[in-house]
Homo-oligomer: A and B are copies of this chain.
């Protein structure tokens, strides 16, 4: 279905690197071509245009999510909660070895391209979804160490948010400290959740409060009506 060739792979690989480091708009086709050692017509043999190349790049990121990002984190430790932090450590190292040039490639493209190209948006969305789903599955594996009824998907969304938002700060600061501090706070949160779960059992904390950290009401927060809504404050649990 998707045509394969060594040339095509080289193009996608260089495009991925450049889109990551410089952004999509700031990367010229000719630069990609130079780096890949390919000449202009060849790119258009494989891709109808730059946008299609971007889609090829995102498909590559999607294909590499499992083997390059998730599995290595998983194989670092048996402890499912530690896998979360192994994952975050991986991004930290990426920042470090690239001299703060690379963060999360998909995160960067996400903000640059927003929701302008539907296929691009949906690929990024799927990337994030798979990432979150996997983190969520680790949380499920540690189910008995976490509060009953914990919004595991919400926690996974939080982890992704912290990773993306903390990488952004570290890159701008050219200093890992903001990343490390934010991740340390996330770890504190995990520890507090574990403590809470301990006391749930030991002290019989109320069951009905167990839906830890869910938004107040999803339906009440629909896009349509929320525009008029006042910031109503958020219940704790």
State whether the Cβ of A23 lies closer than 8 Å to any Cβ in chain B.
yes
Q: Verify if A168 is at the interface (C-beta below 8 Å from B).
A: yes
Task: Say yes or no: A86 contacts B187, CB within 8 Å.
Answer: no
Q: Give the shortest distance, in Å, between A88 (CB) and chain B (any CB).
A: 9
A131 CB to nearest B CB, Å? 10
Contact (A128, B173) CB under 8 Å given A23-B25, A231-B76:
yes
Q: Which residue of B lies closest to A191 (CB)?
A: B236
- Assuming A165-B162, A168-B111, is B188 touching A212 (CB within 8 A)? yes
Whether A176 is near chain B, meaning CB under 8 Å from some CB there, is: yes
Tell me how far the C-beta of A160 lies from the nearest C-beta in chain B, rounded to whole angstroms. 6
Number of copies: 4
Contacts of A214 in B (CB 8 A): 181, 184
Q: In the complex, A187 Cα to B26 Cα: how many Å?
A: 38
List the B side residues contacting A96 at CB < 8 Å.
Answer: 223, 226-227
Among the stretches A3-11, A59-67, A97-105, the one at the interface with B is A97-105
Known contacts A96-B223, A227-B96; A157 and B185 CB within 8 A of each other: yes
List residues of A whose CB falls within 8 A of some B CB. Answer: 21-23, 25-26, 76, 82, 85-86, 89-90, 92-93, 96-97, 100-101, 103, 107-108, 110-116, 121, 124-125, 128, 151, 153-155, 157-158, 160-166, 168-169, 171-178, 180-193, 195-196, 212-216, 218, 221, 223, 226-227, 231, 233-237
27 inter-chain pairs at a CB distance below 8 angstroms, sorted by A residue, are A25-B26, A82-B233, A85-B233, A101-B114, A108-B112, A110-B171, A112-B112, A114-B171, A121-B172, A154-B182, A154-B185, A155-B185, A157-B166, A158-B181, A158-B185, A161-B161, A162-B162, A164-B168, A176-B226, A177-B218, A177-B221, A184-B215, A187-B234, A189-B213, A190-B236, A192-B192, A192-B193
